[in-house]
């Protein structure tokens, strides 16, 4: 169980640090990432055996990352981790190829046990660890076949370098076949009967690398560069070697040249493609041959040839009938940019052979990452342009808008980011008629989303389940959408999907549910966030029973104004439900210049009569006056909830509990905290209209059911 390469993917440093130390003590090589995007970059650049992957990640969540990893290389075993999972989440993870599922907090013994099971599976299937795969020319490495001018030129360079003298530096993106090129050099350089030794510099500490290469701190043992080794020494990821070692490496390479034929030739590869940008000049110039392997997107004509070669090979290996790609699928594959290059192409072909039962592999059989890159939505938008010039202007304008928003509309930073002068940027802004909301004298409002994804976790109010949410920015016009972390089903935050208002507001469609949404929606309403994906496990976490944590979450993420208007709903008539006689339940909504709520409630003591008026001036007023107000409930309601299978969490610290005489479990944040919380709920429920409304609301003893009834009435009568 030694020398496995394990990738830990979690945005909680405490989890990563605790696992890192224990696993390294066991002899494993540890890599880490805090989000799914970085995890994929590592998988595409380093051989990895096992991934421990948290489900709740910002941006690309754990399930999406799992599918992308399996699409890239199905041999990598993935173990999902979560502190707030459900049985359904575990089932979905296993369905998408996860080896196992660990619920936090877990013991290190559980981690060791799952690694042992993976090791046993690999031994049964005959697969070794990624870090110890033998390098050979049997096709396990990315192929350099093809007929394009680019690859033919590279093959000529490899042949020439192999037959000559001197050390060789291989440049190229991840997966372009640098190790296979090194194998070809070994075979063609008269060294075939001598050793081919491979060292990955990225997997060794500076001290370990120095000991391997120069033999230091190893009594009685010589280093690979100093011990008379003959053959080819392949140094992977040389650019990760410490800069202070470059000079010594350069000197040693010079000395090796003097040994003549039959000695040791060094073939090195870098992760990055610019040698002088990653290696000190002396080291870069120590290589007599430099070969740049082109990315697959620069030799697209080779893709059909390679696909056919891989199809034939894997059909033979798996003993199945020969398969082929349908024309539409082949077109998608040829136009895909292949960030993992030939390695990704090979893994994709093998997956298709194993997973597609039919002879023809259709476009629908391809992974979503490839199908979505075709962007059918964009293709429809091309119809709007009558000429290439018009389309180019639209693209340039959107490019400028993207970078202006990314740099908070700071002209000097934006100009530097896109490598033009600030004077030229100002000219382009004027030319394309770009205007900013902050500079708009009309006061017109624009749509908003978050600047970055966020993850929070907590507990469901009613179910007591551990749960969480992932907030992901969406483009203009998307609206607020709830998504399910397990099934990827979505529900728009719209009144038409409300199915229950008992104790909280709940949405539901055919395949998914979103419960207890009102506090989250109230916060989005007050911050005027109009486009956002909210992924949950059926229920939004209740946090401390208020909206304070949701405010902090939005402010930590930052708000991005978008290039699309966000007009308020402006009322033209008065709406009333209930009998307005001062004592019964009623609600009045009438036209106004801004959004405000005057709420009255009358409960038996210790609550009594409370009345409060809130005017939504800005998010600060909401954060100060309303957001801290917590959910409250009476002891008599707890029994009713338990009879319905709710309130099963056994925790009473996330709402105010009241008996017949006193508040049982906490100190109030406001003397009138109860009425303020009623306003909080109403702000959330009214955001089910999809955008802010200008209205003056007067309400007496109303709840979620009355709020949603009024929202439906406004929607229907105003034809929203």
The CATH number linked to 303 is 1.10.8.60
pLDDT for residue 127: 53
pLDDT for residue 715: 92
Average pLDDT for 692-704: 94
Q: Are 574 and 694 members of one domain?
A: yes
Q: Which of 357, 374, 391 is the last residue of a domain?
A: 374
pLDDT for residue 576: 95
Residues 313 and 323: their CA atoms lie apart, in Å, by 11
pLDDT for residue 292: 92
Do 533 and 472 form a contact (C-beta atoms < 8 A)?
A: yes
* Share of residues in the chain with pLDDT > 90 (%): 28
pLDDT for residue 496: 92
Identify the residue whose tokens are 């389309």.
Answer: 391
Of 87 and 101, the structure prediction assigns the larger pLDDT to 101
Q: Which of 337, 355, 374 is the last residue of a domain?
A: 374
pLDDT for residue 139: 40
Average pLDDT for 348-354: 86
Q: Are 121 and 9 members of one domain?
A: yes
Residues 110 and 423: their CA atoms lie apart, in Å, by 60
pLDDT digits (tens, 9 = 90+) for 179-232: 889 988 888 766 656 788 888 887 778 888 888 888 866 565 678 888 777 888
pLDDT for residue 587: 96
Q: What confidence category does residue 462 fall into, taking pLDDT thresholds of 50, 70 and 90?
A: low
**Residue 41 buriedness (CB in 10 A; 0-12 / 13-18 / 19+):** middle
Residues designated catalytic: 704
Do 682 and 599 form a contact (C-beta atoms < 8 A)?
A: yes
Reading the block at residue 297, the tokens are 């997107």
Q: Is residue 290 part of a domain?
A: yes
pLDDT for residue 212: 87
Of 83 and 184, the structure prediction assigns the larger pLDDT to 184
Question: Is residue 467's pLDDT more than 90?
Answer: no
Average pLDDT for 282-286: 87
Alpha helices (H) in 360-500, listed in sequence order? 368-373, 376-381, 388-406, 411-417, 422-431
Q: Give the lowest-confidence range in 65-69, 162-166, 407-411.
A: 407-411
Q: Which of 294, 320, 352 is the last residue of a domain?
A: 294
Q: Are 579 and 691 members of one domain?
A: yes
pLDDT digits (tens, 9 = 90+) for 32-56: 998 988 898 888 777 788 999 998 8
Q: Give the lowest-confidence range in 115-119, 272-276, 618-622.
A: 272-276
Do 99 and 79 form a contact (C-beta atoms < 8 A)?
A: yes
Q: What confidence category does residue 509 fall into, taking pLDDT thresholds of 50, 70 and 90?
A: confident
Domain containing residue 315: 298-374
Sheet bearing 532-536, strands edge to edge = 454-459, 466-473, 532-536, 480-484, 490-492
pLDDT for residue 693: 93
List residues bridging with 613 in a β-sheet. 598
Alpha helices (H) in 215-302, listed in sequence order? 246-257, 275-278, 281-284
Q: Are 514 and 637 members of one domain?
A: no
Q: Is residue 332 part of a domain?
A: yes
Q: Which of 530, 532, 533 is nearest to 568 (CA)?
A: 530
pLDDT for residue 639: 61
Q: Do β-strands 324-325 and 289-293 pair in parallel, antiparallel, or remain unpaired?
A: unpaired
Q: Are 290 and 306 members of one domain?
A: no
Of 487 and 250, the structure prediction assigns the larger pLDDT to 250
Q: Are 471 and 506 members of one domain?
A: yes
Q: Are 321 and 197 members of one domain?
A: no
For the entire predicted model, the pTM comes to: 0.58
Question: Is residue 668's pLDDT more than 50?
Answer: yes
pLDDT for residue 254: 86
Q: What confidence category does residue 582 fall into, taking pLDDT thresholds of 50, 70 and 90?
A: low
pLDDT for residue 463: 57
Determine the Cα angle at 4 with ends 2 and 10, to 5°.
Answer: 130
The CATH number linked to 401 is 1.10.10.60
Chain Cα centroid distance, residue 240: 26
Identify the residue whose tokens are 């043992």.
Answer: 221
Q: Is residue 689 part of a domain?
A: yes
CA distances from 177 to 47, 166, 343, 452, 588 (A): 14, 21, 8, 35, 70
Q: Are 409 and 356 members of one domain?
A: no
The CATH number linked to 638 is 3.30.1700.10
Domain count, the chain: 6
Q: Is residue 442 part of a domain?
A: no
pLDDT digits (tens, 9 = 90+) for 549-580: 999 999 988 998 887 888 899 998 999 999 88
**Residue 582 buriedness (CB in 10 A; 0-12 / 13-18 / 19+):** exposed
Q: What is the mean pLDDT of the chain?
A: 82
pLDDT for residue 131: 42
Residues 80 and 434: their CA atoms lie apart, in Å, by 45
Question: Is residue 253's pLDDT more than 70?
Answer: yes
Question: Is residue 599's pLDDT more than 50?
Answer: yes
Determine the Cα angle at 195 with ends 190 and 199, to 5°.
Answer: 120
Q: Are 303 and 403 members of one domain?
A: no
Q: Is residue 144 part of a domain?
A: no
The CATH number linked to 93 is 3.40.50.2300
Q: What confidence category does residue 261 fall into, taking pLDDT thresholds of 50, 70 and 90?
A: very low
List, in order, residues 6 or more apart from 488 with CB less than 8 Å away. Answer: 63
Question: Is residue 439's pLDDT more than 50?
Answer: no
Do 610 and 672 form a contact (C-beta atoms < 8 A)?
A: yes
pLDDT for residue 708: 95
Q: Are 526 and 593 members of one domain?
A: no
Average pLDDT for 536-540: 86
Q: What confidence category does residue 327 fall into, taking pLDDT thresholds of 50, 70 and 90?
A: confident
Q: Is residue 143 part of a domain?
A: no
Q: Is residue 614 part of a domain?
A: yes
Reading the block at residue 655, the tokens are 């709402």
Q: Are 161 and 212 members of one domain?
A: yes
Q: Is residue 610 part of a domain?
A: yes
18-27, 262-271, 483-492, 519-528: which is most confident: 519-528
pLDDT digits (tens, 9 = 90+) for 369-427: 787 665 544 444 455 566 888 778 878 887 888 788 777 778 988 998 899 999 999 99
pLDDT digits (tens, 9 = 90+) for 626-643: 999 998 877 666 665 555
Q: Are 343 and 399 members of one domain?
A: no
Residue 663 is classified by DSSP as: B
In this structure, the chain runs to a length of: 720
Determine the angle formed by the axes of helices 673-686 and 518-526, rounding to 10 degrees.
80
99-103, 517-521, 616-620: which is most confident: 517-521
H or E element: which one contains 610?
A: strand 608-615
Of 615 and 321, the structure prediction assigns the larger pLDDT to 615
pLDDT for residue 386: 67
Question: Is residue 335's pLDDT more than 60?
Answer: yes
Q: Give the lowest-confidence range in 255-264, 277-286, 300-309, 468-477.
A: 255-264
312-321, 452-461, 600-609, 700-709: which is most confident: 700-709
């Amino acid at each position: 169980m030694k020398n496995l390469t394990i990738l830990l993917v979690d945005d909680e440093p405490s989890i990563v640090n605790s696992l890192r130390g224990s696993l390294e003590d066991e002899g494993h090589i540890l890599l880490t990432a805090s989000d799914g995007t970085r995890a994929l970059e590592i998988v595409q650049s380093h051989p990895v055996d096992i991934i421990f992957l948290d489900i709740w990640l910002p941006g690309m969540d754990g399930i999406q990352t799992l599918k992308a990893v399996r699409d890239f290389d199905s041999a990598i075993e993935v173990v999902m981790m979560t502190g707030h999972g459900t049985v359904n989440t575990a089932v979905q993870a296993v369905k998408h190829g996860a080896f196992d599922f660990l619920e936090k907090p877990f013991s290190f013994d559980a981690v060791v046990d799952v690694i042992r099971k993976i090791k046993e599976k690999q031994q049964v299937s005959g697969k070794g660890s990624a870090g110890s795969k033998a390098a050979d020319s049997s096709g396990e490495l990315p192929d350099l076949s093809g007929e394009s001018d680019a690859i033919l030129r590279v093959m000529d360079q490899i042949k020439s370098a192999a037959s000559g003298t001197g050390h060789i530096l291989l440049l190229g993106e991840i997966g372009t076949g640098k190790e296979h090129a090194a194998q070809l050099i070994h075979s063609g350089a008269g060294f075939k009967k001598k050793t081919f030794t491979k060292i990955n510099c990225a997997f060794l500490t500076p001290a370990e690398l120095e000991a391997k290469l120069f033999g230091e701190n190893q009594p009685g043992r010589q280093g690979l560069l100093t011990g008379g080794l003959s053959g080819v020494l392949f140094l992977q990821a040389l650019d990760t070697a410490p800069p202070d070692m470059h000079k010594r490496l350069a000197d040693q390479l010079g000395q090796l040249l003097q040994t003549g034929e039959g000695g040791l030739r060094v073939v090195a590869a870098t992760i990055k493609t610019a040698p002088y940008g990653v290696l000190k000049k002396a080291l870069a110039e120590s290589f007599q041959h430099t070969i740049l392997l082109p990315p697959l997107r620069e030799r697209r004509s080779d893709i059909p040839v390679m696909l056919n070669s891989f199809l034939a090979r894997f059909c033979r290996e798996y003993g199945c009938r020969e398969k082929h790609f349908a024309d539409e699928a082949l077109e998608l594959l040829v136009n895909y940019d292949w960030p993992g290059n030939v390695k990704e192409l090979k893994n994709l072909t093998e997956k298709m052979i194993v997973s597609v039962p039919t002879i023809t592999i259709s476009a629908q059989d391809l992974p979503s990452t490839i199908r979505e890159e075709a962007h059918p939505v964009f293709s429809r938008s091309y119809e709007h342009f009558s000429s290439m010039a018009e389309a180019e202007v639209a693209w340039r304008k959107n490019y400028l808008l993207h970078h202006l928003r990314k740099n908070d509309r700071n002209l000097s930073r934006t100009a530097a980011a896109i490598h033009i002068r600030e004077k030229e940027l100002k000219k382009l802004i004027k030319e394309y008629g770009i205007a900013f909301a902050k500079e708009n004298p009309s006061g017109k409002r624009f749509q908003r989303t978050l600047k970055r994804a966020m993850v929070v976790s907590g507990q469901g109010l009613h179910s007591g389940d551990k749960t969480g949410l992932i907030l992901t920015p969406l483009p203009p016009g998307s609206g607020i959408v709830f998504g399910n972390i397990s099934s990827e089903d979505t529900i728009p935050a719209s009144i038409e999907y409300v199915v229950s208002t008992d104790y909280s507001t709940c949405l539901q469609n055919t395949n998914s549910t979103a419960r207890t949404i009102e506090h989250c929606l109230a916060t989005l309403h007050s911050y005027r966030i109009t486009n956002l994906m909210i992924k949950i496990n059926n229920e939004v976490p209740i946090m401390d029973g208020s909206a304070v944590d949701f405010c902090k979450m939005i402010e930590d993420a930052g708000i991005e104004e978008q290039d699309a208007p966000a007009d308020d709903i402006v009322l033209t008539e008065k709406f009333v439900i209930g009998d307005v006689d001062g004592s019964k339940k009623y609600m009045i909504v009438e036209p106004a210049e801004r959004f405000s709520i005057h709420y009255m409630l009358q409960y038996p003591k210790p609550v009594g009569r409370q009345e409060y008026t809130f005017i939504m001036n800005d998010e600060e007023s909401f954060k100060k006056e309303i957001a801290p107000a917590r959910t409250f409930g009476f002891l008599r309601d707890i029994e009713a909830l338990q009879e319905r299978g709710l309130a099963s969490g056994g925790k009473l610290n996330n709402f105010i509990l009241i008996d017949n005489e006193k508040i049982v479990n906490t100190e109030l944040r406001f003397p009138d905290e109860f009425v303020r919380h009623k306003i909080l709920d109403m702000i959330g429920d009214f955001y089910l209209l999809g955008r802010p409304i200008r209205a003056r609301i007067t309400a007496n003893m109303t709840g979620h059911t009355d709020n949603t009834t009024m929202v439906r009435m406004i929607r229907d009568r105003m034809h929203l």
